[in-house]
Amino acid sequence: MLHDFRPQPTPAMRQSDPLNLLAMIFALLLCCSKPAAAQTCPTEDPAIDAAKSNKLFLYFPTVADSSYPAYDTNVSPVQPFDVASLSTGIGTTTQLIDSVLAIVVDDYCEFNVQVTSTTSNPNSGSGVPARRSTVAVGADNNGNAVDGYSWGETQLVNTGATTAVDYARVWAGTYVNCEGGVGPTVLTGGCSTTGSLTGANATLTHWAQAIGGTAAHEGGHTFGLIHQDDDPPDDPTGQAGTGPAPGEDAFNRHLMPTGYDLTGPDRADYRRHFSDNDYGILASNVGLSVETMHNWDLVNPNAESGYSLAIDFLSAKSSISIDWFYAGTQSPWLNPTVSGPSGTAVFQGTTYNKYRVTWSAGNPAWTNPSAGIVAGGAVFHIGTTFAGVDFNTPNPIIIQDVTLYDASSTALVLHPRLPSYDAGTLDGTTGDYSLHFNAPPGAPEMRLQSAAIFQLPRVATIDSMVDQGMPYSRDKQPIRPWSSSSCAAAALRGGATCRIANLSEAPHVANILRLGDPGVIDCSRGAATAAGNRANAPQDSTRVPDFEGPMCAGQQFDPFPSTTVYVIATFVDPDAKHYDPTKKTYVTGPVISRVFYQFAGTRKVAGRGQGFGGNSGSGSSTGSCTFCICAALLILGVLFLLLFWYLRKRNP
Ligand SMILES: [Zn+2]
C-alpha cells in the first residue's frame, strides 16, 4: 500500500466509515502540532495576483456615496466606513480595513479572484475591469429591533457567474446593534446577545472576523454561491440545506449559511471558510489560481553529493510562474525558480515550449548531510506548483529530464528518474477521462507500480503531499475525498492509461435554480432588469426565512471530475545503476520514485452527466425524474397485463 487512508467510493458509504474517526484524530494532531497562526496566501505574489481575471473590490468610502447602485432600500448612499462608529480602542480605521482585507484575500487565495480594498468608488474612472464584483462596506446599520437586522445584501446571486458585474453591500454598523442571529433551531428571528464584539471581546480581530466574514459571504453570492449549500439540514424554518459533507467541520464554520443561522460568536470568535460545496461551485464559476501541483520523492543515484537540481520540462504555455513550493524538512532546497521558454521541442507529435525549474537555495531544515546538499544514495523530496497566464484549464508539464549538479555546477552522471504525465484527457467517444503516464527518455523500462486517484473537494496544501499523502487544507483542516480509485500496474514504455472518471457520472455539487422557485429570476437580459424584483429578498438578516436573492436562474456544478484530482503513484526503474549508501558501492537494481500530483478539474464541461448530484442545493435532475417516471409506467404496464390475464382466466 502507498498510504494508510482509503477514502470510500460513495457519499452514502461515508457515514459509517472509520475514516471519520481517523480524520478527527488527524485534525487533533494537526491542531496540537501547530498554533492557529495567521495564514499567508501563496498566490499573493503581485504578478500572479494581477493575472487573476475576476476582481473583488472591498469599497470602504470616506464620505457618503450616493452614486452606488440603489438596488434596494438603504443600499445607497453607502455611508463612510469609520471605526469610531463601531467600537472604541480597537485600532484605527486603516487597521480595521487592512485586517478585513487580509481575511477576504485569504478566503479567496486559491481562486482566480484578486481581492483589493479601496476608499474610492472602484466603478468610475479609467481602467475599470470588465469582470468585477464590488462589496461596499459602510459603518451604517440596516434594520431595527422590530423588523430585524441585515448585515449584508447582494444585488443578485450570480448563478454560474455569467453576469460580468455585480454589487453587494455590507452594513458593518448592524454589528453594533446585533452581533448575530440566534441559530437554526429557533423558529423566530432575533439577535444573539453574547457580547462577542463588546467588553473584552471588543478587539480588532473579532471585528475584522465579523465584517470580513460578511464581506466574503456577499462576495460569494456575486460569484454564484447560495445559502442552501451551507445551511444545516435540521433548520426548521423552511430553509434547510445540505449541511456539511461527512468529514467536514460544522456548518457554522462555513461562510455561506443564511444570516439568522449564525450567532454572534460564530461570526466574531473565529475565521469561517468556504465549505466543500462552496469550494466546488466557486472553482467552477471563477477557476482556481493553482493549476498543477507536484511533489516528488527522488533518490540521488550517484555516490557524489548533489548541490542543486534541475528539471527540464515542456509546456504549451507561453509563460509559467511558481506560486507555491514544498518547504518541509524533507527537501534539501527552498525557493525553486523557473526559466524559459527557451526554444521548443516535439513530444508525441505536438510542439511545446521548453522550460527548466531549478532548486539551489539551501533549506536549513535539511540534514542529510546539510542545507542545500543531498548525499549520495539519499532519498529526498521536492515540490512545486505551476500557474500560467490563464487559469481556465490545467496545462500539464511534461517532464523530460532530472539532473543533479555538484558543487561546481557540473552535472552528475546518473539522473533521478521521473515519468511524464498529463492533466487528464477526455475521450469524446466514450466519455472516459483518463490520465496518461510515459517513461522518461533515459529510463524506458520504468514501470507504474501502483497509483491511487482521489477526487478532492478542495485544494490540498502542498505541505500535505508527502509521506502517506493525507490531504489537508492550508488552514490544516483534513480533506475528505469525494471518491477514490486506483490504477493497474503497467509498463510505461508505450505509455500507460489510467481511467479516472466518465462524463456520465454526476457532479459532486449541483445547484439547479429554476424560474418560479422563490427568489429565482431571469438574469439573461442583464443585471439592471433583473435587479428590479426583490420580492423574495429579505437579505442576509435575522429574519426568517432569509432567502438571499434575487438569484439568477441557471445551473452550476463543481468542476469535472472534481475540484482537484490528487494522484499518489509509485514508479520503479527495475535495473538501474545506483549508489547504495549502506554497501557503499554501486549496485544494479530497482530505483523507486514517488509522485504526489494534484491538478485542477475542468470547468463547465459540455455534456456532463447531471444525474444524482451529490449535494444539490436546489431541485433535482431531469435525468433521475425521467427514470422514475419510466420505471413507474413499466410497473403499471405489467400490473395491467397481469390483471387482464387474470380476468381472461376467470371469464374465458
Ligand atoms: Zn447571503
Give whole-number Cα distances, 572 to 3, 270, 412, 418, 648, in Å.
17, 46, 21, 9, 72
CA of 239 to the centre of ligand 1 (A): 12
Q: Quick one: pLDDT at residue 25? A: 40
| Position 620 pLDDT exceeds 90 | no
Domain carrying residue 485: 292-503+560-602
Closest CA to 298 of 400, 377, 406, 413: 377
CA of 181 to the centre of ligand 1 (A): 13
Q: Quick one: pLDDT at residue 534? A: 59
- Tens digit of each residue's pLDDT (9 = 90 or more) over 99-148: 999 999 999 999 999 999 999 999 988 889 999 999 999 999 999 888 88
CA of 218 to the centre of ligand 1 (A): 6
Residue 183 to residue 1: CA distance in whole angstroms: 44
Q: Looking at the structure, tell me whether residues 319 and 235 fall in a common domain.
A: no
Q: Quick one: pLDDT at residue 146? A: 86
514 domain-assigned: no
467 domain-assigned: yes
Q: What angle do CA 539, 542, 546 make, to 5 degrees?
A: 45
| Position 28 pLDDT exceeds 80 | no
CA of 521 to the centre of ligand 1 (A): 16
222 domain-assigned: yes
CA of 243 to the centre of ligand 1 (A): 15
Q: Looking at the structure, tell me whether residues 301 and 281 fall in a common domain.
A: no
CA of 263 to the centre of ligand 1 (A): 14
Is residue 587 classed as helix, strand or coil in its secondary structure?
Answer: strand
Q: Looking at the structure, tell me whether residues 380 and 438 fall in a common domain.
A: yes
What is the CATH classification number for the domain harbouring 126? 3.40.390.10
For residues 309 and 405, is the Cβ–Cβ distance under 8 A? yes
Tell me the range of 40-44, 87-91, 629-633, 636-640 where mean pLDDT is highest. Answer: 87-91
- Tens digit of each residue's pLDDT (9 = 90 or more) over 502-558: 999 999 999 999 988 878 888 887 655 554 455 545 467 888 877 776 889 999 999
Q: Looking at the structure, tell me whether residues 420 and 472 fall in a common domain.
A: yes
Q: Looking at the structure, tell me whether residues 455 and 429 fall in a common domain.
A: yes
Closest CA to 79 of 138, 143, 119, 142: 138
- Tens digit of each residue's pLDDT (9 = 90 or more) over 168-207: 999 999 999 999 998 888 877 789 888 999 999 999 999 9
- pLDDT confidence bin for 611, thresholds 50/70/90: low
Q: Looking at the structure, tell me whether residues 239 and 385 fall in a common domain.
A: no
Q: Quick one: pLDDT at residue 637? A: 65
Residue 106 to residue 36: CA distance in whole angstroms: 14
639 domain-assigned: no
Residue 151 to residue 217: CA distance in whole angstroms: 10
Q: Quick one: pLDDT at residue 114? A: 95
Q: Looking at the structure, tell me whether residues 151 and 183 fall in a common domain.
A: yes
Of 26-30, 51-55, 99-103, 414-418, least confident by mean pLDDT is 26-30
Q: What is the number of structural domains in the chain?
A: 2
Domain C-terminal end among 486, 515, 549: 549
For residues 593 and 486, is the Cβ–Cβ distance under 8 A? no
Q: Looking at the structure, tell me whether residues 367 and 430 fall in a common domain.
A: yes
Q: Looking at the structure, tell me whether residues 263 and 355 fall in a common domain.
A: no
Residue that the C-alpha cell 471563477 belongs to: 286
Closest CA to 222 of 271, 281, 301, 174: 281
C-alpha cell at 616: 444539490
Q: Looking at the structure, tell me whether residues 541 and 590 fall in a common domain.
A: no
CA of 221 to the centre of ligand 1 (A): 7
Q: Quick one: pLDDT at residue 623? A: 30
394 domain-assigned: yes
170 domain-assigned: yes
317: number of CA atoms within 13 Å, CB side? 24
Give whole-number Cα distances, 384 to 247, 327, 452, 463, 479, in Å.
28, 9, 20, 10, 20
Dihedral over Cα of 460, 462, 466, 472: its sign: negative
652 domain-assigned: no
CA of 83 to the centre of ligand 1 (A): 24
Q: Looking at the structure, tell me whether residues 63 and 149 fall in a common domain.
A: yes
CA of 21 to the centre of ligand 1 (A): 32
Alpha helix locations (H) across 233-384? 264-268, 276-286
CA of 38 to the centre of ligand 1 (A): 26
CA of 647 to the centre of ligand 1 (A): 61
Residue 61 to residue 48: CA distance in whole angstroms: 27
Q: Looking at the structure, tell me whether residues 277 and 368 fall in a common domain.
A: no
122 domain-assigned: yes
Closest CA to 279 of 130, 474, 464, 425: 474
Q: Quick one: pLDDT at residue 640? A: 66
CA of 275 to the centre of ligand 1 (A): 14
Residue that the C-alpha cell 515540490 belongs to: 383
User: Is the model more confident about 647 or about 437?
Assistant: 437
Q: Quick one: pLDDT at residue 533? A: 54
